[in-house]
A and B are shown apart, each in its own frame.
Chain A
């Protein structure tokens, strides 16, 4: 088994050899390490993508808007630019990229954004969705075991921090939790709290 350190180093060097700057290659090393750590096929996707671009390096993305259309977008340049601008992009709520190669490769950058912003982010492409939570977990739905080499559209949605449960569920659970409390008698009220009777001194 390859260690994550080997995954990081080899991904970084290969990316440099494929024409990315050292700074971007460092980001790629960490990103692939993160995908592999989450059990996603980072090495396989990167290998296929770097082979595709070895002779024809992709264009950089200069600006990210609400909708980003192009014939072909690089998941790495999109991911790094997204990461760098995430504080501003958050205000757009939903962002779309068209025609992104090997879209799984954008995932670790968005996952990192989730950590920076303290918000969950939902990523959807080709009937698959990924929920990234603060760079701590990636939940996926309908994940395809086949490598996806092109997503006609990637939809990225910043999710507001709100409860994932109903008020009724909470209240019922809270009521049960109260059964660990001791009913206060007059004596406990005067002796149990520790603080004085007046807070005006």
Chain B
């Protein structure tokens, strides 16, 4: 490919929270890889039993060979004062479960008693993912009213909202009795991470369109219009995401590594291409051009996010000028583009260009998509036969900036992570102002690594780790992590997750960008709204869809 020796980017640079919080969706994102994997499956609406108000049960399925996955939807009436998009709500407009196979009547009856209750209900190993959603009242009612009068809804209103329903959680992997991952992990179609969560959200989106059409028709069977396909395509599913996501990326270090590694490997391989052909450059330019139109629809009241959007916009203006000078005659053009971007753009702009550079290269990206999962249990056991001196080297090589942090300063330990009793959800609070720090979760990795390092410095270097742990079990959790990072360089956030300057939504943004979410709209520093599948092909269009749907121009 190249005589250049392009290296992987340094984790000390990539794994900083401000950088991770500047990641954008890409060809590696799970929404997009889900559609690529399932586009040739057979889609079917198996049951649609709603009353005139749109309340009732519906079932949608994907089938291929003898495998079926079915979304079971339960829509119900709730009062306005019961509608909350916080995870702490107890009632929702609709609740959903992805069932393994086609549900029997008994299954549906069982699920009907449990799925609408969400966290306080129980599902079984036959169910794979669980979710709930609320209507975006202003968009939903407007669409229903317009359609029932035979008119299409106002596009400008829909562009502002971007969806008819907003989910507040999508659960998987054994929660509330759902199937454990080990039961299904060998299925080839779900090798990519979060495939079944992505499937659930995709099918929910179809349900929202069917429901508005159904209610509108029930209101006025004579006059009612069907929602225009182009308008529907530009609607996604909203999501409100809080701190629940943040511990996930700390608690799954090898998985985090696989995600970042695949992104970095793609970048390295693309930068190594010596001769770039015109077609590939044009795909890059085309996606970049279309995506810039989408950026104008990223609306938020958050000063933090507006700062990021404005930095991206001004970077892209700069980049445009630079790109005009680029030609395929330049050897290692992508490397030139990357080097220029690194020197001239801010983090938002740089990572945006990195995402765009992947667009022409199916041959590089496709093999990586199936490597974005991890058999985490394989790396759980600590290699206790190793020496303390080995561990010291690992800490010094992999936590260079973390071991320099002074945790004696109050600002370095300003926050603590905890699990709230009422909803069993992760939260963060000020250590010096709130009660509960003694029940802190093990998410202060930087502080605990520093503590381990200080212990290691005074321990006998020839001791085995087993011997060291006999009298130091308080740091066992970070000893495990240190041996993981020794093998998986991108497994750790290289920042202080309890410092006063922490912006928790940076942690959420990292995960959401890998999901493929767009339109980040922080509502505080602890939760945000996003959009998924906006522009995605509709169910009946899947087989003919192409992968650049995410850049479809918003009308």
Residues of A within 8 A of B (CB): 1-6, 13, 21-24, 26-27, 30, 60-63, 80-81, 83-85, 87-88, 112, 116
**How would residues 441 to 474 of chain B score, 1 for a CB under 8 Å from any chain A CB and 0 otherwise?**
0100000000000000000000011110111011
Q: Are B479 and A23 in contact (CB under 8 A)?
A: yes
- When C-beta atoms are compared, the residue in chain A nearest to B465 turns out to be A84
- When C-beta atoms are compared, the residue in chain A nearest to B441 turns out to be A22
With most chain B CB atoms within 10 A of its CB, the pick from A61, A80, A112, A116 is A80
B222 to chain A, nearest CB (A): 50
Interface: B343 (CB within 8 A): no
Identify A4's interface contact among B182, B380, B381, B474, CB under 8 A.
Answer: B182
Interface: B177 (CB within 8 A): yes
Complex: A60 Cα to B475 Cα, angstroms: 15
Identify A3's interface contact among B125, B381, B382, B480, CB under 8 A.
Answer: B125
Q: Are B177 and A30 in contact (CB under 8 A)?
A: no
Interface of A is mostly: helix
Interface: B174 (CB within 8 A): yes
5 further interface pairs, Cβ-Cβ under 8 Å (given A3-B175, A62-B471): A5-B180, A5-B181, A26-B380, A62-B470, A84-B469
15 A-B residue pairs with CB within 8 Å: A1-B124, A3-B174, A3-B178, A4-B174, A5-B175, A6-B174, A22-B442, A23-B469, A23-B473, A23-B480, A24-B476, A26-B480, A60-B470, A83-B384, A84-B469
B125 to chain A, nearest CB (A): 7
B475 to chain A, nearest CB (A): 7
A115 to chain B, nearest CB (A): 8
Given A2-B177, A4-B174, residue A30 in contact with residue B377 (CB < 8 A): yes
Given A5-B180, A6-B174, A62-B470, residue A22 in contact with residue B125 (CB < 8 A): no
Q: Are B175 and A63 in contact (CB under 8 A)?
A: no
Contact partners of B262 in chain A: CB under 8 A: none
**How would residues 139 to 181 of chain B score, 1 for a CB under 8 Å from any chain A CB and 0 otherwise?**
0000000000000000000000000000000000111111111
Q: Are A6 and B177 in contact (CB under 8 A)?
A: yes
Contact partners of A13 in chain B: CB under 8 A: 419
Complex: A80 Cα to B471 Cα, angstroms: 12
Q: Are A84 and B470 in contact (CB under 8 A)?
A: yes
**How would residues 172 to 211 of chain B score, 1 for a CB under 8 Å from any chain A CB and 0 otherwise?**
0111111111100000000000000000000000000000
Given A3-B174, A6-B174, A23-B475, residue A84 in contact with residue B480 (CB < 8 A): no
Complex: A23 Cα to B381 Cα, angstroms: 11
Contact partners of A116 in chain B: CB under 8 A: 381
- When C-beta atoms are compared, the residue in chain A nearest to B476 turns out to be A23
Interface: B477 (CB within 8 A): yes
With most chain A CB atoms within 10 A of its CB, the pick from B125, B385, B419, B473 is B473
Contact partners of A80 in chain B: CB under 8 A: 473
Q: Are B384 and A84 in contact (CB under 8 A)?
A: yes
- When C-beta atoms are compared, the residue in chain B nearest to A8 turns out to be B174
Closest 9 CB pairs of A and B: A23-B476, A5-B174, A3-B174, A84-B466, A23-B477, A22-B442, A84-B384, A22-B477, A21-B473
Q: Are A1 and B177 in contact (CB under 8 A)?
A: yes
| B interface residues, how many (CB within 8 angstroms) | 35
Complex: A61 Cα to B179 Cα, angstroms: 37
CB contact list, B500-537 vs A, under 8 A: none
Contact partners of A85 in chain B: CB under 8 A: 384, 466-467
Q: Are B384 and A6 in contact (CB under 8 A)?
A: no
Contact partners of B125 in chain A: CB under 8 A: 1, 3
Identify B381's interface contact among A2, A88, A112, CB under 8 A.
Answer: A112
Complex: A3 Cα to B467 Cα, angstroms: 35
Complex: A83 Cα to B177 Cα, angstroms: 31
Complex: A26 Cα to B480 Cα, angstroms: 10
- When C-beta atoms are compared, the residue in chain A nearest to B474 turns out to be A21
- When C-beta atoms are compared, the residue in chain B nearest to A81 turns out to be B470
Identify A21's interface contact among B182, B384, B385, B477, CB under 8 A.
Answer: B477
Contact partners of A4 in chain B: CB under 8 A: 174, 180, 182
Q: Are B470 and A6 in contact (CB under 8 A)?
A: no
Contact partners of B474 in chain A: CB under 8 A: 21, 23
Complex: A172 Cα to B180 Cα, angstroms: 44
With most chain B CB atoms within 10 A of its CB, the pick from A1, A5, A24, A112 is A5
Contact partners of B469 in chain A: CB under 8 A: 23, 84
With most chain A CB atoms within 10 A of its CB, the pick from B174, B179, B182, B466 is B466
B302 to chain A, nearest CB (A): 33
B99 to chain A, nearest CB (A): 16
CB contact list, B347-381 vs A, under 8 A: 377, 380-381
- When C-beta atoms are compared, the residue in chain A nearest to B443 turns out to be A22
- When C-beta atoms are compared, the residue in chain A nearest to B385 turns out to be A87
Identify A84's interface contact among B124, B177, B382, CB under 8 A.
Answer: B382
Q: Are A3 and B473 in contact (CB under 8 A)?
A: no
Contact partners of B180 in chain A: CB under 8 A: 3-5
Q: Are B174 and A24 in contact (CB under 8 A)?
A: no
Contact partners of B173 in chain A: CB under 8 A: 5
Complex: A89 Cα to B264 Cα, angstroms: 42
Complex: A62 Cα to B472 Cα, angstroms: 11
**How would residues 97 to 133 of chain B score, 1 for a CB under 8 Å from any chain A CB and 0 otherwise?**
0000000000000000000000000001100000000
- When C-beta atoms are compared, the residue in chain A nearest to B377 turns out to be A30
Complex: A62 Cα to B469 Cα, angstroms: 10
Contact partners of B385 in chain A: CB under 8 A: 87
Complex: A97 Cα to B477 Cα, angstroms: 26
- When C-beta atoms are compared, the residue in chain B nearest to A82 turns out to be B466
Complex: A23 Cα to B466 Cα, angstroms: 13
Complex: A142 Cα to B177 Cα, angstroms: 32
